[in-house]
Amino acid sequence: MKYLTRLIQIIFFLLFVFLIQRGKMLLWLAIYAISLLLALVFGRIYCGYICPMNTLMIPTEWLSKKLNLQTDRTPKWLQSGKVAWISMFVSIALMLFAKRVLNKNIPILLIWLFISVIITLRYKPSIFHNLLCPFGPLQKIFGKLSLFSEVVYTDGCIGCKKCEGVCPSNAISVKSEDKKAVIDTGKCFQCTNCSQICPSDTIHYSRNKKGKTSTVNI
């Protein structure tokens, strides 16, 4: 599954590059819009498999760790959780202004691609994904309502926390009360990193209870 995921990410990244080179940025935004509807059924598959930023952030994080650049702290200016919404509205405003007033297309996607790489060189990917990415707020809302998602079957969970370490969006955590993992479907990318590393095979893609964290008792 890991290699299939990487292959899908690479294919969509090449499609992104092709569309940008052809000046078809609106087509990519259409793919994003369609992904919001798909998120209602399958979860945030755009973020896990399609988004070019996430695809580049994976090797960037690896490089950051190798160079010992990464820190666990969160910048104070991002801690409010409002910056991602501001980023979204500012990005939309800039695109509309450039198109209607200046009659030009701002490469907003390329700008955010560059920002995502720079941020990930210093901070964990979840910082950009959850607190800064302009494409994240809507994906989070639609993803939280998903019909299917990665689900933790708590009776088999041993609370090892391995799943926490491999989640790119900090969507999974082990509760201190019962040492059982729970998944925030609004943050989950459906990337299967958690299910692949789970030693007790207790995380599976399954039907989700809308608007709630994915936890199932057998």
| Tokens linked to 206 | 């399954």
Looking at residue 122, its pLDDT comes to 96
- Residue range 28-33: mean pLDDT, rounded: 95
Looking at residue 215, its pLDDT comes to 54
Evaluate if residue 128 carries a pLDDT over 90: yes
pLDDT tens digits for range 101-112: 888 888 899 999
Residue that the structure tokens 């919404």 belong to? 85
Looking at residue 16, its pLDDT comes to 96
CA 162 to chain centre: 19
pLDDT tens digits for range 132-147: 999 999 999 999 999 9
Looking at residue 102, its pLDDT comes to 84
When the pLDDT of each residue in the chain is averaged and rounded to a whole number, the result is 91
pLDDT band at 2 (very low <50, low <70, confident <90, very high): confident
Q: Does the CA dihedral 112-115-117-119 come out positive or negative?
A: negative
- Looking at per-residue pLDDT, the higher value among 183 and 3 belongs to 183
Task: Give dist(CA 29, CA 203) in Å, integer.
Answer: 32
> Read out DSSP for 84-131?
HHHHHHHHHHHHHHHHHTS-----HHHHHHHHHHHHHHHB-HHHHHHH
pLDDT tens digits for range 67-110: 999 999 999 999 888 999 999 999 999 989 988 888 888 889 99
Looking at residue 212, its pLDDT comes to 44
Evaluate if residue 211 carries a pLDDT over 50: no
H/E segment holding residue 203: strand 203-207
- The full set of domains in the chain, from first to last, is 2-142 (no CATH), 148-216 (3.30.70.20)
- Identify the bridge partners of residue 172 per DSSP, sorted by sequence position: 183
